[in-house]
Structure 1
Amino acid sequence: MIHLARRADRIKPSPTIAISTKAQEMKAAGRDVINLGSGEPDFDTPQHIKDAAIAAMQAGATKYTAVGGISELKSVVSEKFRRENTLDYAPSQIIVSTGAKQSIYNLMMAVLNTGDEAVFFAPYWVSYPDMALLADATPVAISSDSPHTKITPQQLASVLNNKTKMLLLNSPSNPSGVLYDKVELAALGAVLRDFPDVVIASDDIYEHIRYEGRPFHNILNACPDLAGRTVIINGVSKAYAMTGWRIGYAAGPEYLIKAMTKIQSQGTSNPCSIAQAAAQAAIEAGTDCVEPMLEAFARRRSMVSEKLNAIDCVDFPPIEGAFYAFASAEAAITKLYEAGRISAQTDLAFCDYLLENAGVAMVPGSAFGCENCFRLSFATADNLLEQAVERIGNALA
């Protein structure tokens, strides 16, 4: 028998993909399942973006491109940063990747060595720790007092040390929806100044999905002096409903972008040429086409909030950004366990119970480093979402 490399044993498959796969298998078997597990907008990609892809194909843009992306897209991304974020990046400071996930992976592979620590805030996106492990580094999660309490400067300072080589900031957050304001980011930046060897990765993929007029800021808007070691990561997947197009991008110091490009050259090489043309059209046209989606997300957020808060054994705080509801189910888990309806007092057993008995697929909070919670995505059709939340309420009644 062939023995696998140790790095393959270190990591686990993506829990969100695993939940979606099980839901699809149950649907294929004839079960009535509503999948609220995956973070994917249910909207179609706007027509002008699809038209740009068709035009690119017809023009013969079907060949290899530069490893780090076509110059036209990099120029559009550069202008986007100036227009929307008041940040100035030359095209040589930008890389285009096969999704924002690859940009983060490239950065970790470029920066982290054996024994280094990569720090992030819990609850965290499921891939952060496993990507750090693939880079042979140690993932370190900072937990706040509750899933929706922001990390304080004191908590950050207590974790950083001479082994820390990367800090990942995700705001608005997947899964919690927490959004850090400029003052809070400035306070975190003040701590980071005492640790000059730490590379800062700002994961801004949910930048445009915010509620009640909350403004967006990233760490460089609050602390421009940290630009020499900060990489901003973004993409078109969430805001423009382009998950399948797989285009993300990163901007930062040229020496880091060059290292990330070199790693990408030996991994996947360039992103899809046609998808790059589509992304160029999306970013160039601005966010007008995003507004109807945001209106729908806001409507769904209100409905989900109202119905989840009506369930006695679910603790559900407000959502500031992204399109997820992340709630504590500790009381519900205890209730089901004591009633003999689940075999273990865990969020995994809780989510499995709801999948089997209510036909609703969600992701257990332990996948995000926060036990006894669950995450549901409200990036799905209103009628299905309403049915799903009602099923959850009935299953816990």
Structure 2
Amino acid sequence: MGDDFDTEWTYGNYPMDRLTRDEIREVSAEAQRIHDDIAAGRLTIHLHAVDSWTIVAVGTYTGGKSVHLHGEDYLRQETKDYQSEAEAVADFHCQYTVAVRPGPAPLTRTERAAAEVLATRNAETPVPALSRTSAPAEPLLETVPVYAADPGDHEALLNNFLRSNGEWEKYRPHDETTLVNHESLSLRAEFLHEAAHGDNAWTIAAYESPVGERVWHATVTPTTPVQITKALLDSLASGSGWGPGSISSVTNETLAEATRPLAETGWPQTVTARLIEWTAPDAESAGVSFDTVAATRPTGPIDTWTVWGGNTPHQPAWSVRLSTHTPAALLQDIAFELAYGQGHRQRRPSAARPASRLTTQPAVARAANPVTRPAARR
């Protein structure tokens, strides 16, 4: 059990005090096996969450199934099996939403005590000095392309944006939501403070006038890397991504302008009967898609632009969705951040790499052919 919880111990639906001695031994033996598999690296924990009174987690066995875990110490048990890691992680997000945290949970009091005992026993054993080329066994963070980074602090992003841009006014109608209006009253943003998995943390809309029709809109999920959201907000703050003259019909020219940074850095482009898609040039899952059918129906329910990362385009880990008449300049600012930006991600234990590669290097195109933002966008 965790350090701060005080509740009745259970196994499945049965209180522990109702189990027979043999059943209790069976529970403890299973928990010990799971602990040993984690310690030996045979079971990698991807995510964890606090579920009312105990810790839950999702992990994958080496070369085998993925599982959901419930409980801690000698009460830990497997609750559900999955054939794929993606399915297990997606279901875990659906169940625990904003409580989900990356990596394994902090050590319990029992685990810390055991570690201290082992450390005391091994204190007299000399520890070999690390050479300059050696790397820590478990670095906390790794540098990755921005579309593979952790979400970051969107709350802090909102506060920094308001401090840096005096022409935007904050209004908080209730505790859950903050509304941000531009002084022109034709551009508005809504921030949902406790956005759950499946909600939109940000909703942005531009209007013809303070009382006019909506021209375009965008939504951002709470799991979107904060650097990408910042690129969108900075484009709004600069005035180049909206306002008179920034709205135009979607043509081949505006499409090329909006995605120029992706072309410059070698993002492969594919064209199907309905979609034009650009995908990340490395092993990370990310992309930009343009729906040609939605573009012909600007007032329809389907978004024209989708910027996504993680998992698959249909069930991404994060996404930014934009309507047909989103200004090409604003889209280009987001594409520029995708193409050249970097962020940090908590290192995944299953991704064991040589010391020289603990920090993910940028795509070759970034280093070999660095380019600046086009003159029209400076």
Fold agreement, TM-score > 0.5 = no
Structure of higher RCO (CA pairs closer than 8 Å, 6+ residues apart): 1
TM-score by length of 2: 0.22
TM-score by length of 1: 0.21
Name which one, 1 or 2, has greater alpha-carbon Rg.
2
Query: Of Structure 1 and Structure 2, which has the larger fraction of its residues in strand?
Result: 2
